Every structure is written in structure tokens, then in C-alpha cells.
Structure 1
Amino acid sequence: MAAIMEKLSLKLFNLNSRNETGKQRCLVNRLGYASGYTQQDAGFSLLELLVVILMIGILSAIAAPSWFSFVNRQQVNKANDAVLAALQEAQSQAKKTKLSYSVSFQKNSATKNVEVAIYSTNAGISTWKTLGSDVGANSNQLLLGANLNGENAVNTASITDSTVHYPLPITPTKITFDYMGALTLPNNLGTPVSPSTDPPGLKIVIALPSSANSTSPSSVKRCVIVKTLLGSMATAKDSQCS
């Protein structure tokens, strides 16, 4: 009797085990079906990978020009900020020391960097500094222009005396402030060009080179203009810097 009961218990145990295994398999199959996942669906096909790569290439081709244009404009903006800071520093030093102070700009023919010097006029230039180096501007990729043909004097050799020259008509270009921060004498802010009634002022221009000619400016320009004999300044861009 005991042997019969033992065999019956063993059969019931095996039956329960098979039922549990069947339930687990059924659950796995249901989950796999619900998620749409099978072993054969794992990873990407070659076609899918090629489509993704193609889409990335197309998006990069569209975005790259805009990105480079943005970076170049930032370089011009940084360099122009450095021009304004240099002029303001010279004007401040002139008023502080009660001496004439000058700012000179040049394009170094060897390094191609735009350079600036701030100095006491009587002492003369001691050192040149790369323009905008402290703010990350790559001035060797930029053009420097001005409408001056002498110290504190707008070019008067042409009919339109506000013409900006590339390269500069004089090297270096120099602007000087007296002990009150005004432009030293003699000075000439130019003749108003119709329809404007204001003189063009002294312009220092930073420009991106043209894609067709690296020595000619593109339409992307930034400039600082000394507008009055008292030394007031303003910034402008693009067509206002021509």
C-alpha cells in the first residue's frame, strides 16, 4: 500500500511540474508576442544602418554652412569688441595721466595678425599686441580697414571721403586723444555724404575676406567709429562700415 501511495505522489509531482513549465512557456510566448520581439529581430539590418548614415550626412550638409557662418561672425564681433576696448583704454589713459595717448592698428605682413598698440604719444610704440588674443579672436583670418589717411584724419583723396581702404592706406593707422579725451589737433572727421548730414567719422573696420578674393572684404563687416571731436564712439556693421 505504501508503495502504491509513493508512486501516485510521484506521478502527481511530475504532472504539476509539467503544468508549471507549460505555464511559464506560455507566459514567455505571450510576452514575446506582445512586445513584437523575437531573437530574429535583434540589432539593425544593413539597409537600416545605411539609411541612418545617409540622414546624418544630409543633416550635416545642411547645418555645416550655418555653423561656420555663425563662428566667423563671432570672430568678427570679438575682434571689433577688441578695437573698441583699445580706443576706450587709450582715451581713459589720456584723461587719467593728462597726457596724449594714441592707438595704432596694423596688419602684420609676416604673421597676418591684426595688431594693436596703446601708448603715450610722446613715448611712441613700445610693443604690438595681437588684436583680440585675450578673447579668442583669430585675427589672422580677418581683414583690417580704415578710412584714414593720417593721424585723426579721414581720407580726402577720393570724392567720397568716407571710403574704407583694404589694405590700409597708411601703416600703422593712428588715432590720438588729448588730455581731455578729445581728438588732438589737427583733426578731420570728413565731409557729410548725402543724404547724411553727419561727417563719416574715423572708422576702424574688421571684415571677413571675400570667398572670391582673400584680400577683398565680404559683406560681413564690423566697425568702430569715432564720431565727434570730443571722442564719442559708436559701433556699426555691414553696409554702415563701407
Structure 2
Amino acid sequence: MHNRFTVTRAVQFLVTNPFRSTSGFTLAEMAVVIGVLGILAAIAIPSWLAFRNTRNLNVAQGQIYQILSQTQGEAARLRADRRASFREQNGVVQWAIHSTTSAPSPAEWQTLSSNVRIDPIETTLANVGGAYQVRFDQWGNVEGQLGRLTVMGHTGGRARRCVIVSTLLGAMRRGSDHTTPQDGRFCY
């Protein structure tokens, strides 16, 4: 009799237990949560990708500026003409610092960034043999054509960053994309 009473009470407890039917989430509640998360992701992901693209462009722009400054400094220090060359090889931007009397060897080319590419429309540096070049003489002054090297995101987009060699004395500055052109270019 004692066992029967205990079993009956246990069954009655399970049937009337308030936690049994309210624990967990219903399918409708889960669908609403997943829908809200999907909407938030749809809003946040494009902003995040734009932020990453801009960051990659800023890093590449800083590297290009450093490479040009290093080339200019080497020319003045070595009292020899030096050239900075930039090219896009298999979707990767590469650079080399070398003498003006010879083309860079394959070992001299170094990778700039795999997240950017050269914008050929906005870039105005001299293009010699498929490489954009800036030449510095033995005093660190620019020899030849002034101009800009412009990079854009690997997947395209509107964002651009450029480094502009603006005077024969070798003055350089950084630029970014604008909505209105200046001298026919949007990166200044």
C-alpha cells in the first residue's frame, strides 16, 4: 500500500508540476529570436565590411608612403638614383626599391597587401613595363613624372586611398576619395 501511494503521488506531482510545461522555448519564440538576429546581422555586416575595407586601405596607404620615403632617403644617403616600383601580379600588389639602371629582379619584389589592388584609372605615376614608378635622384628629388598611386579594395567599392608625389623636391602627401573631382581625379 505504501508503494502504491508513493507511485500515485509521484505521477500526480509530474502531472501538476508547473516547471514541466514552461521550461524551454516554443518554436515560435525561437523563430522570432532567429529572425531578429538575422535582421541585426543584415544591418551590421555591410558596416563591418566597409570598416575592414577602409582599414586595409589605410594600412596600404601608410605602407606606400613609407616605401616612397625610404626610397627617397636611400637615394640621398647613397648619393645614387633610386626607384620605387609598384605592380599588381596575380591580384597581389607588389613593390620593389631598386636602382634606376636596371629592372628589379624577381627576388626584389615584395608583397604590399593581398587586400588591396592598384586603381589604374586614378593612378597617374609613370607606368614602365607594367610597373608604376617614382624615380629619385642622388639628392632625393623626383626625376621625371609626378603623380599619385591609388589603391582600392580587392573587391572594388568606392573607397580609395592614394599617396601623391606632388613636387620635384619630393614632397609627398596622403589623399582619400572625394565625391567631387579635382583635376579630373577623385583621390586627392
Which TM-score band (shorter chain)?
Answer: 0.7 to 0.9
For 2:159, the equivalent position in structure 1 comes to 220
Shift of residue 102, structure 1, vs aligned partner: 0.5
The one-letter code sitting in structure 2 at the alignment partner of 1:125 is P
CA spacing shift, 1:38–1:219, aligned 2, 3 Å: closer
Match of 2:118 among 143, 166, 174: 143
1:20-39 correspondence runs (5 A): 38-39=19-20
1:50-199 maps to which residues of 2 (within 5 A)?
50-108=31-89, 111-126=90-105, 127-132=108-113, 137-139=114-116, 142-145=117-120, 146-149=123-126, 171-184=130-143, 187-189=144-146
- The gaps in structure 2 that reach 5 residues or longer are 1-17, 179-185
Q: Quick one: which amino acid aligns to residue 159 of structure 2? A: V
Taking the aligned partners of 2:130 and 2:124, their CA distance within structure 1 comes to 12
Alignment of 1:9-48 (within 5 A): 38-48=19-29
The TM-score, its normalising length taken from structure 1, stands at 0.59
1:236 to 170, 175, 184: 175
Q: CA deviation at 1:149?
A: 4.1
Indicate if the aligned counterparts of 2:125 and 2:145 stay in contact, CA closer than 8 A.
Answer: no
SS of corresponding position for 2:119: strand
Q: CA RMSD in A?
A: 2.3
Q: How far is 1:42 from its partner?
A: 2.0
State the SS of the aligned residue for 2:142.
Answer: coil
Letter aligned with residue 88 of structure 1: S
Cα deviation, residue 71, structure 1: 1.3
Identity of aligned residues (%): 32
Higher Rg of the two aligned structures: 1
Cα deviation, 1:182-240, whole Å, max 9, x if unaligned, reads: 112xx344xxxxxxxxxxxx1111023686xxxxxx43111000111110110001134
Q: Is the 8 A contact 1:114 1:144 kept in 2?
A: no
> d(CA) in 2 for partners of 1:107 and 1:188?
20
In structure 1, runs of 5+ residues without a counterpart are 1-36, 152-169, 190-201, 212-217
Q: Is the 8 A contact 1:150 1:174 kept in 2?
A: yes
Q: How far off is 1:105 after superposition?
A: 1.0
C-alpha contact 1:106 1:144 (8 A) present in aligned 2: no
Instruction: Flag the structure with higher strand content.
Output: 2
**Contact 1:119–1:125 (8 Å) recurs in 2:** yes
- In structure 2, the residue corresponding to 1:91 is in which secondary structure? helix
Name the structure 2 match of 1:33: none
SS in structure 2 of the partner of residue 238 of structure 1: strand
Q: Is 1:204 matched with 2:146? A: no
Cα separation, 1, equivalents of 2:145 and 2:67: 21
Distance 1:120 1:88 in 2: 15
Question: What one-letter code is carried by the residue in structure 1 that aligns with 2:66?
Answer: A
Deviations 1:82-133 (A, max 9, x none): 211110110111122111110011121xx1111111112235412211113x
Q: Secondary structure at the match of 2:73?
A: helix
